Amino acid sequence: MRLSLRWHIYLTLIPLLLILVVLGGTGAWLLRHIGSTINLSILEDFESVVYMERLSAALDGIDSSFSFALAGQESLAQKHFARYWEDYQSNLEKERTNITVPGEAELVQELDGLSANYKKLGDAFFANPPSSKSRELAYGSKAQPGELLQLYEQIRNLSIKIRVLNQEHFQQSSQESVSTANSSLTWFAVLLAVVLPMAGYLAWRTTRNILQPIKAVIESAQAISTGNLDQLVPVAGDDELSQLAETFNLMARHLRDFRQSQLAQLLRAQRTSQATIDSFPDPVLVIDAEGTVEMANPAARTMLDIAPKTKGVPGSGVWLPPEPLRQPLAEALQGQRDYLPEGFNKVILLGGAGRERAVLPQILTIRDPYNATLGAAVVLQDVTRQRLLDQMKSNLVATASHELKTPLTSIRLAVHLLFEEAAGPLTPKQTELLQDARDNCERLLAMVNNLLDLARFEQGSRQLELEPESVEKLLRKAADAMRPPAEEKGVAIVVDVPPDVPQVAADGPRIGTALRNLLDNALAHTDSGGQIRLSASPTPDGVTLSVADTGCGIAAEHVPHLFEKFYRVPGQKRGGGTGLGLAIVREIVTAHGGSINCSSRVGQGTIFQLTLPAAIPSMTPAGASPALVGGERLNGRMHGY
């Protein structure tokens, strides 16, 4: 009697099942034996390590809230304090209920006491008024830590000690478990060596009995894998192989139906995506990984005169982005970073004369769930109106400053004449009042001049007369102008310029103004006996001019805001400026095609570095033939941006 395929499989699998039962039972016994040797404290030790790491992270967050409060960010500081203190208490409570190592209870009890004291001092810190001396004394500094910083270090060191204690106990328990596991695995390996040959023989026999009858099914499956779903396996007889053939044919039919439904679903998704971006009023583009336009809304098609990529249409979807967008778009397509500018200096002008629009570009990388880059989305936000409003604001400031300057100059002259008693003698009280009026006039006139200069540079109306200038001459001229007040204060000004520094393409008076502003700022923040050093060094981009002082320095969180208009360091009592000096310096340097940056450390001083383009040998003074400087053709002058 011929056995069916089912019985062939049964007779083959029954011995395999018996082997599996033996192996499974043996493995279960070994696992139970190994598990019984593993102390539950291993898991508990690991949990304690995790609790202490999280507690340390929350402690750092609490400490940062004090720094935010001292920096003037009161609301953010209190939110940080409440949030991280809740995390801190949660992990401390978990550690209290997870004490497994000898000596751990005493350390946790000590940690409880320090935590309660730290919470009490933290509440007292925020109870004091913002910017009060009590807060600074309570927190202190690295050089002279207050009670809060001292408790922070004690708690941090104690949490590390608890964590190390649990780690050592964890390692000891792990070593014991490894030893037990190794001996158990040895016995299991002996058993495998016995049963594996038997299983191999049975597997070979099963493979021989099953694979031969289904060869036709394999060939059809290979055809389906290439995309040919119109496959039918002949059905003959009524045994298991016939049932397999029928099932295979049913599967092929379902695959055909599924492919049709998937195509319809993809089409709906594509139409939904297109309708979504079409609803945006600003131009929106979807760029694929090859850099061609895959989707574009009507605003983008109208403004950029482009069309998405169309299959079978050569040249479709090709878009040559404006020069400022090429590098950011390439970086986004490579998955490096998004491009999200905010300032009007990154605005791009699109369209012809009379229809010109100002757009602020944003480029975001599109990634799949596995973080692979699929392309990029480009949004061109229309900021024409906002840019016009900003220009109107600058024009208003410039007009108001200009209108104020004339009467203010007259008042200043009248005060000087009265102060010199040209209109008659003055009483001591009148002299005192006039002196105060004269000082205020000088301050107001300086403020108006700064506003006027800043507005002109922002509007691009301040012209620069670029000529080859000696770096040493520029630095020494600025130093000589500030030397009298520096000597009066007891601050030394040193100029150090190597002989190999090339000339720069600069407007001498404007760069002089920038250097004097930096020197005036350095002098205001440097105590008697300090030093201001002016130096220069050649760079691949031109020449870097440095103004370094040994003053009080600036906290790191304030450095990025120094060049903003009207920005003054919170709590800084030195200097009486309006916060426009450094903004004017940045505008002057930017108008030259250069750059400026600042580095500072509290208590050690500040360094401002200006990088200016070098003058090429063929450059001649203003009025002579044009020359190329820094890649731009100049006719003796250049406009600020």
Does residue 253 sit within a domain?
A: no
pLDDT given at position 149: 86
Token representation of residue 520 = 């005036």
Residue at 260 is within a domain: no
pLDDT greater than 70 at residue 398: no
pLDDT per residue as tens digits for the range 37-49:
555 557 777 888 8
- What confidence tier does 327 reach under pLDDT thresholds 50, 70, 90? confident
Q: Which two tokens stand for residue 260?
A: 């049709």
Residue 594 has what pLDDT? 87
Is the same domain home to 336 and 409?
A: no
The reported pLDDT for the residue numbered 162 is: 87
Do 473 and 600 sit in the same domain of this protein?
Answer: yes
pLDDT at 97 (0 to 100): 87
Residue 216: pLDDT over 80: no
Distance CA 397, CA 174 (A): 73
436 and 558, same structural domain? no
Residues 32 and 171 in one domain: yes
Residue 153 shares a structural domain with residue 69: yes
Rounded CA Rg of the chain:
39
The residue count of the chain comes to 641
**Residue 380 in contact with residue 300, Cβ under 8 Å?**
yes
Same domain, 371 and 392: no
Write down the H helix ranges in 212-239: 215-225
How big is the CA angle at 574 (ends 569 and 579), to the nearest 5 degrees?
Answer: 45
Residue 410 lies in a domain: yes
Of the candidates 123, 121, 101, 124, the residue with the CA atom closest to the CA atom of residue 52: 101
The domain that holds 323 is classified in CATH as 3.30.450.20
Q: Which of 212, 235, 253 is the last residue of a domain?
A: 212
pLDDT per residue over 493-527, tens digit each? 999 999 888 999 888 888 888 898 899 888 888 98
The number of domains in the chain is 4
The answer as to whether 236 is a domain residue is: no
Q: What is the mean pLDDT of the segment spanning 177-184?
A: 71
State the average pLDDT over residues 307-328. Answer: 76
More confident site: 247 or 641: 247
Inside any domain, residue 274:
no
Distance, CA of 607 to CA of 553 (rounded, Å): 9
Query: Is residue 451 located within the same domain as residue 557?
Result: no
Are the C-beta atoms of 356 and 388 separated by less than 8 Å? no
Spatial distance between the Cα atoms of 440 and 450, rounded to a whole number of angstroms: 15
73 or 424: which carries more pLDDT confidence? 73
For residues 44 and 137, state if they share a domain. yes
Q: Are 321 and 363 in contact (CB under 8 A)?
A: no
- Name the residue among 11, 5, 2, 3 with its Cα closest to residue 209: 5
Tokens of 564: 């903003």
Residues 423 and 487 in one domain: no
Q: Is the pLDDT of residue 322 over 70?
A: yes
Residues 447 and 492 in one domain: no
Q: Of 136-140, 234-238, 302-306, 619-623, give the lowest mean pLDDT range.
A: 619-623
pLDDT confidence of 1, banded at 50, 70, 90?
A: very low
**Per the domain annotation, does 630 fall within a domain?**
yes
Amino acid at 384: T
Domain coverage including residue 73: 1-212
Rounded Cα gap, residues 247 and 217, in angstroms:
11
Strand 373-382 to 284-288 pairing: antiparallel
Tell me the β-bridge partners of 284: 379
Looking at per-residue pLDDT, the higher value among 172 and 399 belongs to 172
Note the pLDDT of residue 319: 80
Cβ proximity of 475 and 536 under 8 Å: yes
Average pLDDT over residues 608-614: 90
The answer on pLDDT for 8 being more than 50 is: yes
- The predicted pLDDT at position 521 comes to 85
CA-to-CA separations, 95 to 39, 103, 373, in angstroms, rounded: 18, 13, 43
Q: Which of 159, 188, 212 corresponds to the end of one domain?
A: 212
Q: How far apart are the first and last CA of the chain?
A: 98
Please determine, for residue 308, whether its predicted confidence score (pLDDT) is greater than 80.
no
Q: Is residue 171 part of a domain?
A: yes
Per-residue confidence (pLDDT) for residue 513, from 0 to 100: 85
Helix (H, G, I), strand (E, B) or coil at 365: strand
CA dihedral of 122, 124, 126, 131, whole degrees rounded to 10: -110
- Report how far residue 299's alpha carbon sits from residue 380's, in angstroms, rounded to the nearest whole number: 10
More confident residue, 273 or 357: 357
| 550-596: pLDDT as tens digits | 988 888 888 887 877 767 777 666 655 566 778 788 888 888 888 88
Per the rule left: phi > 0, alpha: psi between -120 and 50, beta: everything else, 541 is alpha
In a shared domain, residues 370 and 286: yes
> Is the overall model pTM greater than 0.75, yes or no?
no
Predicted confidence at residue 35, as pLDDT, reads 62
Helix (H, G, I), strand (E, B) or coil at 232: coil
Q: What is the CATH number of the domain that holds 433?
A: 1.10.287
- Tell me the pairing of strands 492-496 and 531-539: parallel
- In this predicted model, what pLDDT tens digit does every residue of 523-552 receive, in sequence order? 888 988 899 999 999 988 789 999 999 988
Among 166, 193, 212, residue at a domain's last position = 212
Structure tokens at 511: 């760069």
Per-residue pLDDT, 624: 38
Whole-number average pLDDT of the chain? 77
| Phi, psi (rounded to 5 degrees) for 617 | -60, -30
Contact between residue 443 and residue 484 where contact means Cβ atoms under 8 Å apart: no
Name the residue with tokens 């600020």: 640
Which residue is associated with the tokens 């001083």?
A: 605
Output phi, psi for 518, to 5 deg: -65, -40
Q: Determine, yes or no, domain membership for 507.
A: yes
Exposure of 423 in the CB half-sphere (CA atoms within 13 A): 10
- Answer whether 245's CB lies under 8 Å from 217's CB: yes
140: left (phi over 0), alpha (psi -120 to 50) or beta: left
Handedness of CA 504, 506, 509, 511 (dihedral sign): negative
The reply to whether 90 and 194 lie within a common domain is yes
| Residue, of 585 and 182, whose pLDDT is higher | 585
- What distance in Å separates the CA atoms of residue 594 and residue 590, rounded to the nearest whole number? 5
More confident position, 186 or 640? 186
What's the pLDDT score for residue 101? 83
pLDDT digits (tens, 9 = 90+) for 128-149: 888 788 888 888 777 778 888 8
Q: Work out the percent of the chain whose per-residue pLDDT is above 70.
A: 74
For tokens 């403020």, what's the residue? 447
549 pairs with which residues across the strands? 532
Three-state secondary structure of 148-195: HHHHHHHHHHHHHHHHHHHHHHHHHHHHHHHHHHHHHHHHHHHHHHHH
Give 303 or 474, the one with higher predicted confidence. Answer: 474
